[in-house]
Amino acid sequence: MEIDRDRLRKPQRGASVLARETRRAELDKQEREAKAETKRRDGYRCRWPEDHKCRCGLEAAHIVDASLGGPMEPSNLLSICGWLHRRGPESIHGKQLKVEPLTAEGANGPLSFWRKDAEGIFYLVAQERSIGIIERD
C-alpha cells in the first residue's frame, strides 16, 4: 500500500489567511458590481419619490437587510441618498422610512415608499408604476 505524502503534508504557512482574503476580495468585488448596476438601473438618482435635498451622496440600500438574509444583488438594492438611507432624522436605517417591492422583480420593478407617523404607524408616501415613475391618482 502506497502512502499519499501530499495529503500528509501540513498546509503552507499563511495558506488559510490567503484563502480567507481571496474569498473576502471576491465578495467585495461582487458587492461593488451589484451596487454599480443598481445605480445604473436607477439612472444615478435617488429613488425616494418626495422632493428633498439629497445629501451625503448616492448609496445602494438593501430592501431586505443582508443580516436578515437579503441577497447582495440589484433586485434587493435601490439607489437612495445617504441622508434618507442612514444619516437623516428620518431614515431607512432609523426605521422611520421603508421601501417595499410591488412585484416579484424586487427593486428591478416598481416600489412602494412608506413613512412612520407620530403614533408609529406607517403610511404610504407614494408608489411607482415603473422604476422612477410615480403613480398619480
What is the per-residue pLDDT across 40-73, written as a single tens digit (0 to 9) for each? 999 999 999 998 888 889 999 999 988 888 899 9
Side-chain-side CA neighbours of 10 within 13 Å: the count stands at 3
Across residues 77-89, what is the average pLDDT?
94
User: For residue range 87-110, what is the model confidence (pLDDT) as tens digits?
Assistant: 999 999 999 999 999 999 999 999
Instruction: Please state whether beta strands 58-62 and 133-134 pair in parallel, antiparallel, or not at all (unpaired).
Output: unpaired
Q: Which helix (H) or strand (E) holds 32?
A: helix 15-41
How far is 52 from 97, CA to CA, in rounded Å?
14
pLDDT score of 136 more than 80: no
Per-residue pLDDT at 65: 85
Can you give the pLDDT at residue 42? 95
122 Cβ partners below 8 Å, 6+ apart?
98, 114, 115, 116
Q: Is the pLDDT of residue 6 over 70?
A: no
Q: Given phi > 0 = left and psi -120 to 50 = alpha, else beta, which region is 58?
A: beta
